[in-house]
Structure 1
Amino acid sequence: MIVGGMTQYLTKVQGMPKEVEIRLEKRIRKFLWDDKSLARINKETIYAPIDEGGRQLLDLLARNEAILVSWLQSYLNLTEKRATWTFAADAILAHHVPSKFANLEERERINVFLQSWNSNTSKLPKDLRDMISIAKKYGARLEGLTFSREIIRQMPIWLHGEAKNTHKLRNSKESRCLRQNHKVITVGDIEAQVNKTRTPRHGCRRNCRCTACEAARTKNHCEAPYRCFAKAKELLQTLPKKWNPLIFTQGETSNAIPQTAWNPQPADTKVEVYTDGSCQHNGSDEARAGAGVYYSDGDALNKAMRIPEYLPQTNQTGEIISITTAAADVDPNHSLTIYSDSKTTIDGLTRNRQRWEDNGFAGVANAKELRTTIATLRRRNTPTTLKWVKGHSGLEGNDKADALAKKGSEKAEQDEVDLLIPPNLCVTGAKLNSMTQTRAYKTIRQIKMSKNQYQKAIDRRNTRINTGRAKSVVKEIMGSEPSNKILWRSLRHKDFSRKFRYFIWMVAHEGYKIGNYWQNITNFENRANCHPCGVPESMDHILTECQCPGQQQVWEPTKEICIKKGIEWNEPSLGMILGAGVIKPNKREGKPLDGDARFLRIMMSESTHLIWKLRCERVIKGRNSPSPEEVTRRWKKSIEARIGLDRLMVTAQFRKRSVSKGLVERTWRSVISDEDNLPEDWTGEAGVLVGRRSGQG
């Protein structure tokens, strides 16, 4: 989007003032709704993903917050490549502190995120204030499974963010000596002081003459080195055993060391298991997923599980849960080999695992289930090997796991699946140093979408009614009900024109100002009715019931040409129009009729959109109703234009959007007059029309 692209650089460098943000949002809204002040679709729906009925428009506020996250990333980059501005930020943050931290020397105030002091945000520049605010909003903190000694040693020791009771220890005489005389700032510095207690002949007495104590007296002017060394040890013991910078975190931090160590000795017992997932009516609201785990015939650990409804009902969920179950059931001291025919799941647990964990599983399907599986595998004491096998290839173990998965999906009762992850194996956020602006934006959007306020905003009553009608019609015709995701994606089918995609999306959301919209607006109540028919106007009435010239002259030839092509005709309704992208004609001779399905989509979309345009010309522009002949002529012209577009899309210049010659021929087969006498490559010849040749009748 132009607004997002043109403001990206300045926002990245200078930030975006709130008033500018508001003005830009207004400008975007005016552009979307053609300068109309009142829009029937809220902005949350516009920003929503396509799968949820949105337009996936740029959320400017989320984009600006993602930029602030990138600032935070630069600020917390404590390597040699740290940006110059971050040192100035350190000084400003350290200078403006509340009175309770006034006795903390500025040189001890190293980093507000790594220590337990905070800055007085009211006195900070706006950019720093916004950065601190975004860090608090999205939970930037120290968390992780394990940490390198290098990271640990670089952390500040005074008011360490995860340390306990450091305030009391900091104010002792020995602590002041450590700061002022021994110049102790970091954990590495305090560790060096503790190591001095291991000096030969060192003793816990005032007159200790070991080399470490003598050096402390002469070089550091320390009066009681042994006490300072003891205090250093006490300070070191206040620290947790692990930390690492993360963002978008949730819940409490676990400072326990995870049990992830591998047994260096090979296990005496080796176990092999086959896992598989299954799903009936995959992609529909009636989907039922199952998981199968097979060891050997008659083994007590064999399982056929029904995936509970609170988890995604997909084949992939079954694959993941089956691996989790196998890893949890087998003794952790036994070597385990898991065979699966899901390359996606295996790659997610191996090749992609580190990257997904670093990104907080942003945008990853089945993120919760994958986290649990990874934690379960980490809990094992011996190596676990994941091996891919080709599905349905006659391999006995895989076939029996598949049978168990299908059996599980058919079970009436759902199995309980424990997704609880032990705190010492759970990392809830994303690694800040691997975060990009794009990933931050996606994560912020996910957080927004998970809130009840957002869910209420996009849960529109009229939208639910319309999608429900579409699902009902599709189920009646095809036997199964599509999921919301499939239905919303079908509204953007590539066989639909761009204008129709927008039109049908607006129809699904009741976005047009027709019918009931006008009833409560003073002096405009008369617009609520269809005057020729004398009934309240609705989209269903406009497209399938209105008696004005146009509708009948469009649907009759559409019906005739569909029957001519051998497609079973169903009387058009709003539900059928909304579900046109999903509906597929019945198979003939066991072969899928991709050409027939494409033809039906084109005919339904072009005919529907023409009826809407005729209505708008009559009602909004005040034109006289066209004659039946004129309507028929315009209908034929629109179909002719689609054939012309298909002929163009066969060429290579469209690349990814091109359509194969065979599909174009199957689409228009049986509906072009004198088809037997057409040249072999008729897609390259101009003048072919539906039902006739150019220049004829």
Structure 2
Amino acid sequence: METLCAPIAKGGKNVLHLKSHNEAIKLKWLKCLLAPIETRPQWAFFANAILAKAALNSPIVKHSAKINPFLQTWSPSQKRLPSHLRRIIQTAKKYGTRWEAITINPSIARELPVWFHIGASADLNKLNNHLYAACLRDNHLATSVGHIEAIANRNSPLHRQNKNCTCNHCAQDRTESRCEKPYKCTKLAQSILRCILPKWHPLTSSPSYSLNIAPEQITDETDENDQNTMVFDPTYPSPDSLSSGFRVFVSSNTPCNTPASQAPKPPGEQPQLSIITIADTHKVDKDGFHISGGGAWFGTNDPRNKSIKVPEHLAAPGAGEIVAILSVISTLPINVSLQLMIKLSVLRKSLTTNLANLEDIDWLDHPNKTLMKSLVAKLRKRCALTTLTDVGKSTDKASYKHAIDLAKNGMIKDKHDDIMIKVDAPDELFGVKLCIGTQRLFFKNIRNIQSKSKQRRETNMNMARTLHAVGEVNDTTPISDQVWLSIRNKDIPKNIRGFLWKSLHGAYKIGQFWDKIPQFEHIGQCGLCRIPESMEHILLDCGKSLASRVIWKAAKDLWLKRETSWPEISFGTILGCNLMTLRNSDSKTKVGATRLFKILILESAHLIY
């Protein structure tokens, strides 16, 4: 069932998974519950009142201190909640909903509720129900950090630490707020403010920035080369409102209370701009292992030139470029301005124009999610400007050829390079921004979480063989999504589409399928060879199969009437032939031959079966 419910690009049939669908609806309701007051539906106001009334008995939370359980440390008792509201809270807890940010704008930090503050030390627990805390809440109407900060920072030369103080602030508190001991409330406000941790404190929540900018990086709008250059924004993202700080699918159990900050600029003169050309290569070998290489070219005979082999668990199309950049910035001083010459537009846009959107959805469906999160964090840490230029439109294209050679050399290394991809806790942003979430986005994330541990072994093996076969013909290895989409091409007859889908999944009742059924094990053997049967054996390897010999010979004879040589056919060739492109000696696509090849391979294989 999990396979059928998977997306089409992941080898499924996109059948609706009702449980995940219902949970996505609950998250949509949660989004409404935590929406800004201006856009919040009416039912959400009643729901918040019910949540406040259902607060757990421990810790003791006064009614005036209850604002939002997702912005404070108190929780509602799920047993006391109506069933529909209980399911919303359960789903929110299951998928890690909390207020999360790398840095916090001081104005937003001041809007956070101060009582039972989510970013305060344990000392605040003693002050939440202090004798004068009730006066601050009920008389001074202090509910947010900003209110407490204003009371704590009162400064008057006439102020005295006694109840008879005649300064303007104390006199105003007695008359307007009906506070009997204003100096006690001021002292308590100061104590509360000291309990707020640095990441959440308005005075320390936002980092300062200092960037080295090389003269060559100052752009000219009339210069064609400058128009092909994009600038990486090193500013740490910060919520622009309380509602935009809620995130769901947060994987970290313990929130980090240390604010992110840029590395300090080293003393001395500013280093010169480093221009680096980045390239990558990728393929799938005959055993199904992904191999990626990256190259970083500084210049001829430059000792900083790098050939990198990507670790196997990180290898994927495009991974080589990311790893090459990570390796470069780990060796260069943090105050060196960088101009990265990159061919892949996807990577350039992911680091510039699309960065905010990708972080909002937690890099959903990005093939190099782990590497990209590490790269973004390390680029933000640097105190120098980073620009990205399209190497395809630059005048120096020879450097890209050198970078490609370095990447190829890296790919054939015996051992992979050690790449530091760990992100420091203060610099890593978790989860999907709740306020931009749609039911579809929530559903996709839920399905991704549920399907991570359920990978079919035979599907993975067949996919690896397919990718390798296509890569051998095309010289570029596709991704698995392309394979799944290719077998749904409408040029392929419907019955052959089903045949390819089942063959990729190993879904036919042949071979090992019968090994688990007592007294029927013999059915899993080939009726002609008496050896374990498989789809590959049926189509290609059975030497006693008359159908296989006759059909492949007929296909070969027909092919040789047009072409000079018949290519070697493997099981991966059959499964991936719809992605293959045949070329002549001038590297030009042979459209007719490619189409004939697909027809012959698919029709022959299906006819044999």
TM-score tier by shorter-chain length is 0.7 to 0.9
Shift of residue 565, structure 1, vs aligned partner: 2.8
Q: Give the counterpart of 2:21 among 63, 85, 97.
A: 63
Shift of residue 357, structure 1, vs aligned partner: 1.0
Q: Does 1:157 align with 2:159?
A: no
Matches within 5 A, 1:355-366: 355-366=357-368
Distance in 2 of aligned mates of 1:399 and 1:535: 50
Distance in 2 of aligned mates of 1:530 and 1:301: 58
Normalising by the residue count of structure 2, what TM-score does the alignment of the two structures yield?
Answer: 0.80
Distance in 2 of aligned mates of 1:566 and 1:147: 66
Amino acid at match of 1:86: A
What secondary structure does 2:273 align onto?
strand
What secondary structure does 1:333 align onto?
coil
Normalising by the residue count of structure 1, what TM-score does the alignment of the two structures yield?
Answer: 0.70
What secondary structure does 1:270 align onto?
coil
Sequence identity, in percent? 32
Give the aligned partner of residue 459 of structure 1: 457
What secondary structure does 1:198 align onto?
coil
8 A Cα contact 1:277 1:317, kept in partner: no
Per-residue CA deviation, residues 440-459 of structure 1 (Å, 9 max, x unaligned), is 22222222233x3x23xx22
8 A Cα contact 2:284 2:468, kept in partner: no
Shift of residue 184, structure 1, vs aligned partner: 2.0
Distance 1:521 1:395, change over 3 A: closer
8 A Cα contact 2:281 2:411, kept in partner: yes
Uncovered stretches (5+) of structure 2, i.e. residues with no partner: 201-244
What secondary structure does 2:179 align onto?
coil
Amino acid at match of 1:428: F
Structure showing greater relative contact order (alpha-carbon pairs closer than 8 Å, 6 or more residues apart)? 2
Distance in 1 of aligned mates of 2:300 and 2:548: 64
Distance in 1 of aligned mates of 2:97 and 2:64: 23
8 A Cα contact 2:71 2:117, kept in partner: yes
The structure having more radius of gyration, on CA atoms, is 1
Q: Give the counterpart of 2:84 among 113, 127, 137.
A: 127
What secondary structure does 1:173 align onto?
coil
Amino acid at match of 1:419: I
Distance in 1 of aligned mates of 2:32 and 2:40: 7
Shift of residue 506, structure 1, vs aligned partner: 1.5
Distance 1:469 1:433, change over 3 A: closer
Distance in 2 of aligned mates of 1:405 and 1:519: 45
What secondary structure does 1:338 align onto?
strand
8 A Cα contact 1:332 1:382, kept in partner: yes
Q: Give the counterpart of 1:372 among 374, 378, 381.
A: 374
Shift of residue 328, structure 1, vs aligned partner: 3.5
What secondary structure does 2:187 align onto?
helix
Hey, which of these two has a bigger chunk of helix by percent? 1
Matches within 5 A, 1:265-344: 268-279=270-281, 281=283, 285=288, 288-314=291-317, 316-344=318-346
Matches within 5 A, 1:109-124: 109-124=66-81
Amino acid at match of 1:356: L
Uncovered stretches (5+) of structure 1, i.e. residues with no partner: 1-42, 613-697
Distance in 2 of aligned mates of 1:110 and 1:214: 29
8 A Cα contact 1:114 1:156, kept in partner: yes
Shift of residue 115, structure 1, vs aligned partner: 0.9
Q: Give the counterpart of 1:500 among 489, 496, 506.
A: 496
| Of 145-154 and 536-545, the range deviating more from structure 2 | 536-545
8 A Cα contact 1:279 1:290, kept in partner: yes
Per-residue CA deviation, residues 72-126 of structure 1 (Å, 9 max, x unaligned), is 222111342222111111011111122224x423332211111111111122122
Distance in 1 of aligned mates of 2:510 and 2:347: 48
Distance 1:241 1:439, change over 3 A: farther
Shift of residue 423, structure 1, vs aligned partner: 1.7
Distance 1:269 1:523, change over 3 A: closer
Q: Give the counterpart of 1:81 among 27, 39, 51.
A: 39
Q: Does 1:137 align with 2:94?
A: yes
8 A Cα contact 1:278 1:409, kept in partner: no
Q: Give the counterpart of 1:239 among 188, 192, 196.
A: 196
In angstroms, what is the RMSD of aligned CA positions? 3.9
Amino acid at match of 1:431: K
Amino acid at match of 2:500: I
Shift of residue 59, structure 1, vs aligned partner: 2.9
Distance in 1 of aligned mates of 2:161 and 2:73: 32
Shift of residue 130, structure 1, vs aligned partner: 1.6
Give the aligned partner of residue 685 of structure 1: none
Give the aligned partner of residue 207 of structure 2: none
Matches within 5 A, 1:679-694: none
Distance 1:556 1:233, change over 3 A: same
What secondary structure does 1:100 align onto?
coil
Distance in 1 of aligned mates of 2:338 and 2:547: 69
Amino acid at match of 1:311: L
Per-residue CA deviation, residues 223-271 of structure 1 (Å, 9 max, x unaligned), is 22111111011112222344632221122322222214998x9973332
Distance in 2 of aligned mates of 1:481 and 1:78: 47
Distance 1:465 1:247, change over 3 A: closer
Distance in 2 of aligned mates of 1:394 and 1:145: 38
Distance in 2 of aligned mates of 1:364 and 1:44: 21
Matches within 5 A, 1:171-570: 171-195=129-153, 197-242=154-199, 244-251=245-252, 252-260=254-262, 268-279=270-281, 281=283, 285=288, 288-314=291-317, 316-390=318-392, 394-395=396-397, 397-450=399-452, 452=453, 454-455=454-455, 458-460=456-458, 463=459, 488-513=484-509, 557-566=554-563, 568-569=565-566
What secondary structure does 2:195 align onto?
coil
8 A Cα contact 1:275 1:401, kept in partner: yes
Give the aligned partner of residue 209 of structure 2: none
8 A Cα contact 2:293 2:411, kept in partner: yes
Shift of residue 213, structure 1, vs aligned partner: 0.5
| Of 110-119 and 124-133, the range deviating more from structure 2 | 124-133
Distance 1:241 1:78, change over 3 A: farther
Shift of residue 361, structure 1, vs aligned partner: 1.1
8 A Cα contact 1:262 1:383, kept in partner: no
Distance 1:225 1:489, change over 3 A: same
What secondary structure does 2:277 align onto?
strand
Distance in 2 of aligned mates of 1:592 and 1:311: 32
8 A Cα contact 1:330 1:336, kept in partner: no
Distance in 2 of aligned mates of 1:332 and 1:548: 66
Shift of residue 528, structure 1, vs aligned partner: 7.4
Amino acid at match of 1:57: V
Give the aligned partner of residue 24 of structure 1: none
8 A Cα contact 2:282 2:476, kept in partner: no
Amino acid at match of 1:171: N
8 A Cα contact 1:391 1:398, kept in partner: no
Shift of residue 431, structure 1, vs aligned partner: 1.7
Distance 1:551 1:421, change over 3 A: closer
Distance in 2 of aligned mates of 1:537 and 1:401: 46
What secondary structure does 1:204 align onto?
coil
8 A Cα contact 2:279 2:296, kept in partner: no
Distance in 2 of aligned mates of 1:476 and 1:527: 35
Shift of residue 521, structure 1, vs aligned partner: 6.7
